[in-house]
Chain A
Amino acid sequence: MKPLIASTLSGILMMFLALWVRDKSRVSNLALGLLAIVLGIDIWSLTEVLQQDSVQHLFSGMLVYDSFSLWFFTLMTAATLLYVLLCRKHIERVGQHVAEYYALIFFILSAINLLAGYGNLLILFLGIEIISIPQYVLAGSDKRNLKSSEASLKYFLMGSFSTGFLLMGIALLYGATGTFDVASLNLGSNGNGINMLALTGIILLIVALGFKVSAAPMHFWTPDVYDGAPTPFTALMATIIKVALFVAFIRLFMNGFGLVNEHWKMVIAVVTALTLLIGNITAVFQQSVKRMLAYSSISQAGFMLFAVLANNAFGLKSIIIYSVAYTLATIGMFTILMKLKDYTYDGFNGLAKKDPMLALFGAIFIFSLAGIPLTAGFFAKWYVLTSVLEYDNNLLWLVLFALIMAVVSVFYYFKVIIAMYFKPGDTAIAHPVSAADRFYLGLTAALVLLIGAMPNLLLYLITQL
């Protein structure tokens, strides 16, 4: 409970800070300080739960904090801290109301806490709404840019529509089971199959959550929204928020519907296959690296859906590794993208000559996204695929399909490497890279390589679950 209160209070504090603090850089520093405090409170909470080896049930089971939720939230707070460290100058550049952007980010963080530790479908709804509404605002925060307003409106309309599906699904589940509490849904626990009403509710929930994590065929909002939103907020949306929604997805389907999964397994498998297919094939044809990264996030979401499909504890571990690997690599890639003036592939031409360190970091992030061994991305993919095969041998076709799509992904990921290293050109760097930027990018790249070489460091933390 303490982390939730901490992040919400930080958000409120940041909102009022706008009245007194004018200097944007000071606002960023204050946000970083508050994030550090929240992280400290997270770790404190986590060690408490680990020592007592207990699960916190709050508000008669509406919030359930076990070690997994607290671990995940700690990782997310740390990721947000790294994100602000990397992107602070760009957040400051988006518009006037910097303190409000940070306030919204803190509210998103508290929503992530809710999504990590919900025990009740209404809290799930609350968490999804609290995470979505700030995103609608952040997507439209570049008021001088028409694409930003378009992104915000598209996101708002599609998002509200999907929330309608969510509410209908929850209502149907309530009608079928008589409760909102995830643990006491008791679907299939008596071995007597599933109520048609409940199954319809589950399918609607798949649609709704699929919208939120941009799984095909509910992904159509993602490219335009990610492309139109200001790039630092795209980075936030594509990584931390998407990953948190996936954890919510997994928790619901494992804890609530785990026993009836023969009924929804095929639906998710088809959604996964479609997501991988559409995400990867369309990404190949993109001209802009920002849009390519948006489609790449769709295809990575396809891989993360494997963890939902797996329906076992291995799947939980795999989603943690995948989220860390994917977040580090994508935030790093977006940070590098933000430094350049030209967002197309040609904008990267000759980066290796102009700034070899930046190009090397970019190469490491791209290798991680493509799944080359020695980077965190390889183990992430390995884990999600193994978790599915561990669960069901019959899904080998899906694993093979995913790996073939991974080959397709090399087509667009390596275009960046080819531009950076093999094409001559003079990259126009719009915003000079400071020493602090290099340090944090280097830290991110080092983490990617470290987890890629010795994933047991992260795994050791996870086996505490």
Chain B
Amino acid sequence: MLLLFSFILVPFIFGVLSFFSGSNAKRIALTGSCISLVLSLCLITQFCEHPGQELQHSVSWIPAIGASLSLSAGAAAAILVLLTAIIFPLIFIAQWKRPIENPSRFYGLMLLSQAGLMGVFLAHDLLLFYFFWELALIPVYFLCSLWGGEKRIRVTFKFFIYTFLGSLIMLAAIIWLYIQTPTRSFDYATILQTGQSLSFGMQQIFFWMLFIAFAIKMPLFPFHTWQPDTYEQSATPVTIVLSAIMVKMGLFAAYKWLLPVLPEGAAYWSQTVMILSVTGIIYASLLAMVQSDLKRIVAYSSIAHVGLMSLGLFADTPVATNGFIFQMFNHGINITGMWLIVSMIEDRYKTRDLKALGGMSGAAPAIAISLVIMAFASIGLPLTNGFIGEFMLFLGVFQSANPNHIAFMVIAGLGIILGAIYTLNMVQKVAYGTAKTTLQIEKIRPGELFCLVIIIVIIIVLGVYPKLLLGLIG
């Protein structure tokens, strides 16, 4: 099953090559990311034939402590691998014509971060998972600090410290869990067995130690304070990596390493997590309504979407879990589309302030129409993939055994309405109204059009025929 290793090796090798390629870096990067895309489609076709399976491959790494290079792709991991493989080429194509300082470093770091992110989704060995969890962070730290807004160094440092704190608390839990294993191994099956056999009290402690790391990464209210600043200050291609893919690290880790390993602890605390999730939805939506910076609006909307996904995950019903997996993919695609448009607006209007924008439908109609479609997908209008995902999540929460499930549904529904308010407000201020700028606004470029068309096609196809992805879950 060399296929699984190639997902990490291909971006890594192309990333290292990019560092030495000077101005050719973007071609090498695009080639590497397209190869990853082809490989991920191969992986997905395996799932089309045999849905619900799990591919695994393991190579010995440190036998003395029971760690192995063990990779596994279940349906959820394969879908997230596909998501990552789709998004990186889109970022590179949209970035093609835009000049960037130090391109070789930029593309090299982007591909290294792709390798790290793939590793997090595929790791089946707890130590390997922790390795990739941290390693995905290092290239992103450099990416955020070298390119971006004026306050980026301080903001990225806060992001790094916050995430690192969570990771180290997780490391303490990992070491302690390892000590509890009978055979001293980091293998998933052993960890699963050990975790499930822990006493209720221990499960609760472990739950919080692991959950804090994932909650900081998602981010979940109240651990989200690093996110709006970091998204705002980073360069938009990097924001896409952070928002579309790194968020899924936290969600997927909760799905794979938290709920199955500590079922009783998770069941006991799921009520609390669900309360935090819906609070996050409302809180983020309210804040999004008063923002005037385009990137901050999308950043807060991302917190709201993540709140809904974590609500579904902790509802722990089959429909909710399937909806969660589906919505992870959808959110990645939709938010990428949104960020791409934000970067196009930023590029052309040289500002992200809502008060200075307007009238884009006259100047660049294609971008405006795409913005409207992305907004509909973000709100979850029928015909878009967002609708299917949200519907499944709501249904799943309704079916859950939690006594307050109706309350959660109602509050989350309120969040959807608030989401519609700030998103449509943003669309109206940006795309319609009178143009306030005197700059010459360039129409959409072929590369950008290509990216947006791909995303719109995925939004509509999955909105109409979601079985394409749901069928893989089995």
Contacts and interface: CB of A to CB of B under 8 A. Distances in A.
State whether these chains interact. yes
A16 interface: no
Interface stretch (A66-74, A226-234, A255-263, A396-404): A396-404
A459 B62 contact: yes
B188 interface: no
Contact of A410 (B64, B153, B161, B171): B161
Contacts of B142: 421
B161 A389 contact: no
Interface string B98-142: 000000000000000000000000000000001100110010001
A418 B134 contact: no
Given A367-B138, A422-B153, A407 B161 contact: yes
Contact of A382 (B153, B169, B175): B175
Given A407-B161, A418-B157, A393 B145 contact: no
Contacts of A390: 179
B168 interface: yes
Interface string A231-243: 0000000000000
Interface in A382-424: 382, 385-386, 389-390, 393, 396, 399-400, 403-404, 406-407, 410-411, 414, 418, 421-423
B178 interface: yes
A54 interface: no
Contact of B168 (A374, A389, A407): A407
A386 B186 CA distance: 13
Contacts of A399: 172, 175-176
Interface residues of A, number: 31
Main secondary structure of the interface of A (DSSP, over half): helix
Nearest to A414: B157
A396 B161 contact: no
A441 B65 CA distance: 30
A389 B179 contact: yes
Given A456-B61, A456-B63, A418 B145 contact: yes
A403 B140 CA distance: 22
A421 B146 contact: yes
Nearest to B137: A372
B64 A459 contact: yes
A21 to B, nearest CB: 44
Given A407-B164, A414-B157, A374 B135 contact: yes
A299 to B, nearest CB: 14
B146 A400 contact: no
A126 B307 CA distance: 64
Contact of B169 (A400, A414, A460, A463): A400
Contacts of A400: 169, 172
A459 B63 CA distance: 10
A406 B167 CA distance: 11
B42 interface: no
A389 B177 CA distance: 10
A410 B63 CA distance: 30
A134 interface: no
Residue from A373, A454, A455 whose CB has the most chain B CB atoms within 10 Å: A373
A382 B179 CA distance: 12
B134 A373 contact: yes
Contact of B135 (A373, A386, A403): A373
B160 interface: yes
Interface in B142-172: 142, 145-146, 153, 157, 160-161, 164-165, 168-169, 171-172
Contacts of B134: 372-373, 378
B62 A386 contact: no
Nearest to A397: B172
A410 B137 CA distance: 14
A396 B172 contact: yes
Given A372-B138, A374-B135, A414-B157, A403 B169 contact: yes
Contacts of B61: 454, 456
B93 to A, nearest CB: 28
A166 B62 CA distance: 40
A347 B169 CA distance: 34
A414 B130 CA distance: 21
A99 B142 CA distance: 45
A418 to B, nearest CB: 6
Contacts of A459: 62, 64-65
Contact of B175 (A385, A404, A406, A414): A385
Nearest to B145: A422
A386 to B, nearest CB: 5
A455 B62 contact: yes
B175 A456 contact: no
A381 to B, nearest CB: 9
A455 B62 CA distance: 7
B423 to A, nearest CB: 34
A422 B146 contact: yes
Interface string A433-465: 000000000000000000000111001100100
Contacts of B175: 382, 385-386, 389, 399
B179 A406 contact: no
Contact of B176 (A373, A396, A407, A418): A396
A411 B142 CA distance: 16
A438 B104 CA distance: 23
B62 A421 contact: no
A154 to B, nearest CB: 34
A403 B131 contact: no
Contacts of A407: 161, 164-165, 168
Contacts of B64: 456, 459-460, 463
9 contacts: A367-B138, A373-B130, A386-B178, A403-B172, A404-B168, A407-B161, A418-B145, A423-B153, A459-B65
Interface of B: 61-65, 130-131, 134-135, 138, 142, 145-146, 153, 157, 160-161, 164-165, 168-169, 171-172, 175-176, 178-179
Closest 4 CB pairs of A and B: A403-B168, A373-B131, A456-B62, A373-B134
Given A372-B134, A404-B165, A423-B153, 20 more contacts: A372-B138, A373-B135, A374-B131, A378-B134, A382-B171, A385-B172, A386-B178, A389-B175, A389-B176, A393-B176, A403-B172, A410-B164, A414-B157, A418-B145, A422-B153, A456-B62, A456-B63, A459-B62, A459-B64, A459-B65
